[in-house]
Amino acid sequence: MPVGAQFLRVSVWRGTHDGRYVEYRVPRQTSQTVLDVVTHIQRKLDSTLAYRYACRVGMCGSCAMTVNGVARWTCRTHVSAVAQDDRLEIAPLANLPVVRDLVTDMREFFDKWTRAKGQFQGSRTRRDDFAAVNPQSKASQALQAGIECIGCGVCYASCDVVGWRADYLGPAALNRAWTLINDTRDVARIERLRAISGDAGCHSCHTHMSCTERCPKHIAPTASIAGLKRATAAAMVKGDL
Partner 1 sequence: MQNALLEARLWLAQRVSAAVLGICVVVHLITIIYATRGGLSAAEILARTRGNGPWLAFYAVFVLAVAVHVPIGLRAIAAEWLGWRGRTGDALLITFSFALVAMGFGAIWGLFF
- Applying CB under 8 A, the residues found at the interface with partner 1 are 161, 164-165, 193-195, 197-199, 201, 203-204, 206, 229, 232-233, 235-237, 241
CB 124 within 8 Å of CB 131: yes
User: Which one, 60 or 233, has the nearer CB to partner 1?
Assistant: 233
CB of 241 to partner 1, least distance (A): 5
Give the number of other Cβ atoms within 10 Å of residue 130's Cβ: 7
User: Which one, 22 or 226, has the nearer CB to partner 1?
Assistant: 226
3-class SS at 211? Answer: helix
Q: How far apart are CA 102 and CA 38, in angstroms?
A: 10
Of the candidates 101, 64, 67, the one whose C-alpha atom is nearest the C-alpha of residue 84 is: 67
CB of 237 to partner 1, least distance (A): 8
DSSP code for 160: H
User: Which one, 7 or 164, has the nearer CB to partner 1?
Assistant: 164
User: Which one, 50 or 236, has the nearer CB to partner 1?
Assistant: 236
CB of 194 to partner 1, least distance (A): 4
CB 57 within 8 Å of CB 75: yes
CB of 202 to partner 1, least distance (A): 9
Please, what is the angle between helix 138-146 and helix 171-181, to 10°? 150
Within 13 A of 155's CA, how many CA atoms are on the CB side? Answer: 33
Measured CA distances, 107 to 131, 151, 170, 206 (Å):
33, 12, 13, 24
CB of 164 to partner 1, least distance (A): 4
User: Which one, 56 or 194, has the nearer CB to partner 1?
Assistant: 194
